[in-house]
Every structure is written in structure tokens, then in C-alpha cells.
Amino acid sequence: MSPLSFTAALLRWFAQYGRELPWRGIDDPYGIWVSEVILQQTRIDQGRDYWLRFMERFPTVEALAAASEDEVLRLWQGLGYYSRARNMHAAARQIVEAGGFPRTIQGLRALKGVGDYTAAAVGSMAFNLPAAAVDGNVYRVLARHYGIDVPINTTHGKHTFESLATELLPPGQASAFNQAMMDFGATWCTPRSPRCIDCPVAGTCDALHTGRIHLLPVKERKLKVKERHFAYIYIRYKGKTALRRRPAGDIWQGLWEPLFVEDAPLPDLGCPLTLLASGVKHVLTHRVLLADFYLAEPQALPALPEGYIWVEEPALPDYALPRLVERMLDLLPQG
């Protein structure tokens, strides 16, 4: 399906099935903006009532700007994510100070709390600016219809979908098209049970014809950054120190390190431990290490866990050490 016919089909669908919402059909940028902020994390049914109440109490951006933060937050109560209300209040003051609503995407983007999506949504609906508003609904519709499996939560994915959505924008009808995409994604091409049977673009839907509806869109699994807590004890005994080679199956395999403790109590070496540094941060891919460094100077040869060897301190440079251990050595007092 050419971009033009996809767009035309969606616009036809919207004319028939578009949702009736109290902020639809208005061209007041303020009312549209308030609706977009409310709907960022809120279901439409709940958002509708809040919008009506909000607009009744603060019918203009000037009224919102003149209100106290307490009053704005009270009206917002129950919607959660209060930073949205605070940012909106601050942005209302920005707008009033500037003498009116910005009429460019760049100007809208400069308002507190306004990101790419909100700027495009408000810009297109209030001023018919040719900007594609790409939210989760739009990602899903485009990924399925065009069979795009580029992960949507990557920079490449964002660019891919934004440029496709921009290409699809009909000249002079950005407002209707953006709303059509939002509504179509929210009511027809839904995440779990899309209405493919009476879908206006089913004939050209790649996901439908390749059996990938539930595989698209694709999200890259972000590996959670794991935190690990290490403690290293540098033992100094008659000019010698204890090292072990790090075992297989973990980071730094084969490198050498002083007495190592992870998630366990510090061992008793028969002498007090001097803390050299605590919470030293060392960042690796997908891991953050937080390390405490200690110095132990026992009077008698301490018993060590298996695997450690005694090394003459001047010979330390002959051993390959992780960078974190080198940082520890830099903190050692002269022996």
C-alpha cells in the first residue's frame, strides 16, 4: 500500500470511528495541551473528568499561571505523577511571560515538561503544524502494518518510526492524521486483540499476512544494571601480600586480586582493619561495582582461604590486576 493510500484509509476510518472527546474539535492550544498532559499516564475515561474539572477551574493559561501550586496539585489529586502538574504550572507561567502560546515545534519543546510527542500533538492539533506525534499506539500500528521489527526503544527505532510517520502525514491534515493514528491504535489495532477482521488496512498489513501480529512491535530487552558490593583487604605481612587469581565464570577471570569478599562478613585476620576507602564506584557494562578497600597489618601469619599465595610487595607489578585493584593500591600507605 502506498503511503498515500494508507493515510487516506486511516483518515476515512477516523471520520467514521474517531472518538468523541471534549477536547476534540477545539483549536485552543491550552485545552489541547492540558488534555495531552493529563493523558500521558492516565486512562481516557478518568482523564476526561479531570480535564473538564481542570478547564472549569482554570479556563485559560493565564488562570493556570495565576494559581498557586497547592491549588493546582489539589485539582490533580488522584491522577498521580505530580511532576506533570508542577511542570504544566511552570510552563503556564513561561507562556504568560512570553506573551502567548508558542506556535512552533521548537517553541513548544522549550516549555517545561513538553517532549517530542506532546509538542507534535499540540502543534499539529492547535496550529496544524506538519509534525507526526509518535506514541506507543503509533509504533504498534506502523510496526504491524509495515512489518518493521526494528526495536522501538532504540535510537534507530525511534528514527525509523518517526520518519515513516512523517512521510505518511497528509499535507495540511497533520491534526486529523495524528488523531486518527492515536485512535486507531487505541481502539482497533490494540495490543492484545486487534480487530483485523474489519480493519481498513488489513489487505496490506504485513503482520497479518506473515502471522506476526503478536510479535510486533519489537522491544529490545534492556539488561538491568546489576549492583555488586565488593570488599578488598590488602594484607601486609613482613613485606609480603596475599593475592589470588580470579576464577572462571565471573568478571576478570585470570586477573589477580587481594583478599576478596562479596556479600559476606569480613574475615578475622587477627588484627584491626584500616578502611582506606568505601563505596568506590567502578562501572562495567551492565554492572556497577561498589567496593570498600581495607588494609590489614597482622603480627602473625594469618590463615587464608584456599587459592591465595604470598607475593613480595615489590613484585606486584608483575601481576595483572583489575583496574579497580590498581585504584586500591594507589591508596595504600608506604610499607
Give catalytic residue positions: 36
3-state DSSP call for residue 255?
Answer: coil
Which alpha helices (DSSP H) does the chain contain, by range? Answer: 3-17, 29-39, 44-57, 61-66, 69-76, 82-98, 105-109, 116-127, 136-145, 155-168, 174-187, 206-210, 323-330
Give the distance, in angstroms, between the CA of residue 55 and the centroid of all CA atoms in the same chain: 30
Q: What minimum distance in Å lies between the beta carbon of 124 and ligand SF4?
A: 22
User: Which of the stretches 23-31, 40-48, 206-214, 304-312 binds ligand SF4 when contact is defined by CB under 6 A?
Assistant: 206-214
The yes or no reply on residue 201 touching ligand SF4 (CB under 6 A) is yes
State the residue for C-alpha cell 482523564: 47
Contact predicate 13/200, CB 8 Å? yes
Q: What minimum distance in Å lies between the beta carbon of 184 and ligand SF4?
A: 8
The yes or no reply on residue 199 touching ligand SF4 (CB under 6 A) is yes
Using CB under 6 A as the binding rule, the residues of this chain from 138 to 197 that contact ligand SF4 are: 141, 144-145, 188-189, 194-196
User: Which is nearer to ligand SF4, 9 or 321 (by Cβ)?
Assistant: 9
State the residue for C-alpha cell 510517520: 165
Contact predicate 207/213, CB 8 Å? yes
Q: What minimum distance in Å lies between the beta carbon of 7 and ligand SF4?
A: 13
- Alpha-carbon distance 114 to 84, whole Å? 10
User: What's the Cα-to-Cα distance from 149 to each of 142, 146, 198, rounded to whole Å?
Assistant: 10, 9, 24
Contact predicate 188/199, CB 8 Å? yes
User: Which is nearer to ligand SF4, 120 or 213 (by Cβ)?
Assistant: 213
Q: What minimum distance in Å lies between the beta carbon of 81 and ligand SF4?
A: 29
The yes or no reply on residue 23 touching ligand SF4 (CB under 6 A) is no
Which of residues 202, 255, 316, 332 is near ligand SF4 by CB under 6 A? 202
Binding mask 91-130 for ligand SF4 (x = CB under 6 A): ----------------------------------------
Which of residues 138, 207, 291, 321 is near ligand SF4 by CB under 6 A? 207
- Total chain residues near ligand SF4 (CB under 6 A): 15
Of 292, 232, 228, the closest CA to residue 263 belongs to 228
The yes or no reply on residue 89 touching ligand SF4 (CB under 6 A) is no
User: Which is nearer to ligand SF4, 133 or 213 (by Cβ)?
Assistant: 213
User: Which is nearer to ligand SF4, 137 or 241 (by Cβ)?
Assistant: 137
The yes or no reply on residue 63 touching ligand SF4 (CB under 6 A) is no
The yes or no reply on residue 222 touching ligand SF4 (CB under 6 A) is no
Burial class (CB in 10 A: 0-12, 13-18, 19+), 284: middle
Region class of 209: left (phi > 0), else alpha (psi between -120 and 50), else beta? alpha
The yes or no reply on residue 29 touching ligand SF4 (CB under 6 A) is no
Q: What minimum distance in Å lies between the beta carbon of 215 and ligand SF4?
A: 11
- Alpha-carbon distance 281 to 272, whole Å? 24
Q: What minimum distance in Å lies between the beta carbon of 212 and ligand SF4?
A: 9
State the residue for C-alpha cell 591465595: 308
Which of residues 34, 125, 213, 233 is near ligand SF4 by CB under 6 A? 213
Contact predicate 122/36, CB 8 Å? yes
Using CB under 6 A as the binding rule, the residues of this chain from 242 to 261 that contact ligand SF4 are: none
User: Which is nearer to ligand SF4, 128 or 187 (by Cβ)?
Assistant: 187
Contact predicate 315/240, CB 8 Å? no
Residues that bind ligand SF4 (CB under 6 A): 141, 144-145, 188-189, 194-196, 199, 201-202, 205, 207-208, 213
